[in-house]
Amino acid sequence: MREKIELRPGDMVYFKEHLALGVLVEKRDNGWIYALRSPPSRNLTAMRMKFDYAPEKSFIQAIETGRFHYYAR
């Protein structure tokens, strides 16, 4: 039986395919405000940062399927 993932502020996810690192900032309704740092595809040395929102189930599914690497705080 798999342990239930409980996301918390400060947890990080990494999406290797896009060299993207997300930091969970604040729980809102059924999702998370997160800070995303990633490079544009045409210049992998230039990093961009933005804040965005995603449903919690999107994070959980991506972690459980191995799409995201998960780092609990």
Residue 48 has a pLDDT of 93
Any domain includes 18: yes
Helix/strand/coil percent split, the chain, to 5: 15, 45, 40
Q: Is residue 44 part of a domain?
A: no
Report pLDDT for 71: 97
pLDDT at 2: 63
Question: Range of 61's domain?
Answer: 13-39+54-71
Q: How many domains in the chain? A: 1
This model's pTM is above 0.85? yes
Q: State how far Cα 51 lies from the chain centre.
A: 11
Rg (the chain; Cα; Å): 12
Is residue 30 one of the residues assigned to a domain? yes
User: Does a structural domain hold residue 46?
Assistant: no
pLDDT of residue 41: 82
Report how far residue 71's alpha carbon sits from residue 10's, in angstroms, rounded to the nearest whole number. Answer: 9
- Residue 26 is assigned to a structural domain of this protein: yes
How confident is the model over 3-57, as pLDDT tens digits? 789 999 999 999 999 999 999 999 999 999 999 999 988 888 889 999 999 999 9
What span, in angstroms and rounded, lies between the C-alpha atoms of 68 and 60?
Answer: 9
